[in-house]
Structure 1
């Protein structure tokens, strides 16, 4: 019996129970998507995106930790954050994510996602647009045969997320699993394959056009049912370790929208939208909109 007891004890010690975390708590695994111009992970402008800037700022402000960077699609990022000690610089907060992600105070303000399609096909979308040029995403999805392209694991906010959540098996919802979040979707649209329109931010589209990744054949249409802007947050795994990291990050951020961070975002925003962004910043970050 004594021999059996020692065998069982050895197995427990050598093979931790499921869910036990054996990761070094002095290490932060930072996950980010290939999401230019927010995260620029290759080319001459590598590391110059506004999320790259904030990630670097936080890492320098937390010298007591070892920092390791990883690139993945949002589906994998969410899995890692649910199972390991991980952080992501800018994430949208949703009730589902709050179950396993500890969020910081707001760090970033994006103008909302919109519909992106070919200029040559805009007449197909006009029946669902109002006089101000906004489109009803609910009417478009429900009443047209056109197919929406989205990226796996990504959240878009507002009515778009409701459509995605309520119609997981719809033939009109095409999910891409690529690490890039928009480029492959637009190339699919450009080639007139399986997608008629994608959902994305205006600065994403502007970046891809300026870099020559896609042709200047696309149009951005704002969505009527979306909020004027979307706030994003730093997220870490929701456990004792993650709460400690987020507490430190909140002290570093101190309720401000850091100026260089904002400017780097506006560098790729269409010029006619910069004033709107400034007005939104003043509403969401009244203490500091510099």
Structure 2
């Protein structure tokens, strides 16, 4: 027994200890083009990919690992293990287990995405300014809304999703991509009548010929015109330390290259709107 004990002590001295998890940042992101482009000729060239690489290069003291998952899986990982996600919407529920950075990104808000040919069906819910009431659309029409599992859209949309989980008018998509499959379903006129998504998502799908140029984006009345996005890490001492470093790296700036990569896929009429709000939220100019 004594010999076994001595062997154990010896092995503990000569065998190097494994790399501690604290020295590794697991970066989680969804298949979310053009924010995060995970395949094809433009792989790794989305604005989210750009920010992630910027942070990785600015944190050479850590090893970096990248993982692809839907937002439901990402949230589960951040709640159970150490990890980070470059662009996340902040909600009260998420703040319970996620440490958020200062704002890093400004998005034009989500809207209703449907076929141009079906616009007349939606007109009763659209006001004179061109905004649609998502509450009236969902509650009083038989049309079915498509969403991605684990994704948060903001305000009234999230409230509708949370309060109608068993509704047949709510179709939940579980795959890694966040909008492409939903849009293709709408295009084929199968089980979904409209989806919720960002205008740059739709513009990307059309520009890459993943879907035909048959869609229309309608802003939602109950949502603000823009939403802020944040870096999120697991809510513990490790996560607080990483977020502190991220805030120091970003330094309250909305980097020009980061912004341009996003605006590249905005409809032209929304670029000026994005510039206006970006100036208000990020008064510091990039170095």
TM-score calculated relative to the size of structure 1: 0.91
Q: Structure 1 residue 76 and structure 2 residue 70: aligned?
A: no
Partner of residue 129 from structure 2, selected from 122, 129, 132? 132
The match for 1:233 is 230
* CA apart distance, 1:289: 7.5
Runs of at least 5 residues in structure 2 that lack an aligned partner in the other structure: 1-18
Q: Structure 1 residue 157 and structure 2 residue 159: aligned?
A: no
Please give the alpha-carbon distance, in whole angstroms, between the structure 2 residues aligned to 1:287 and 1:259: 11
The match for 2:4 is none
Q: Within 5 A, what are the aligned runs for 1:201-216?
A: 201-216=198-213
Q: Deviations over 1:90-127 (max 9, x none)?
A: 00000000000000000000000000000111100000
Partner of residue 123 from structure 1, selected from 108, 120, 123? 120
* CA apart distance, 1:192: 1.1
SS of 1:192's equivalent in the other structure is: coil
The match for 2:6 is none
Please give the alpha-carbon distance, in whole angstroms, between the structure 2 residues aligned to 1:284 and 1:63: 29
SS of 1:25's equivalent in the other structure is: helix
Query: Would the alpha carbon gap of residues 23 and 96 (structure 1) be closer, same or farther in structure 2, given more than 3 Å must change?
Result: farther
The match for 1:55 is 52
Q: Deviations over 1:215-248 (max 9, x none)?
A: 1010000111110100000000000100000000
TM-score calculated relative to the size of structure 2: 0.92
SS of 2:21's equivalent in the other structure is: coil
Q: Is the CA contact 1:149–1:174 (under 8 Å) kept in the aligned structure 2?
A: yes
How many residues of Structure 1 are paired with residues of Structure 2 in the alignment?
A: 269
* CA apart distance, 1:23: 5.9
Q: Deviations over 1:236-270 (max 9, x none)?
A: 00001000000000000011111111010001111
* CA apart distance, 1:148: 0.4
* CA apart distance, 1:288: 2.9
Q: Structure 1 residue 275 and structure 2 residue 272: aligned?
A: yes
* CA apart distance, 1:287: 2.4
* CA apart distance, 1:133: 1.1
Partner of residue 105 from structure 2, selected from 99, 105, 108? 108
CA RMSD of aligned residues (A): 1.2
The match for 1:6 is none
* CA apart distance, 1:65: 0.3
Q: Is the CA contact 1:259–1:289 (under 8 Å) kept in the aligned structure 2?
A: yes
SS of 2:22's equivalent in the other structure is: coil
Please give the alpha-carbon distance, in whole angstroms, between the structure 2 residues aligned to 1:285 and 1:59: 22
SS of 1:199's equivalent in the other structure is: strand
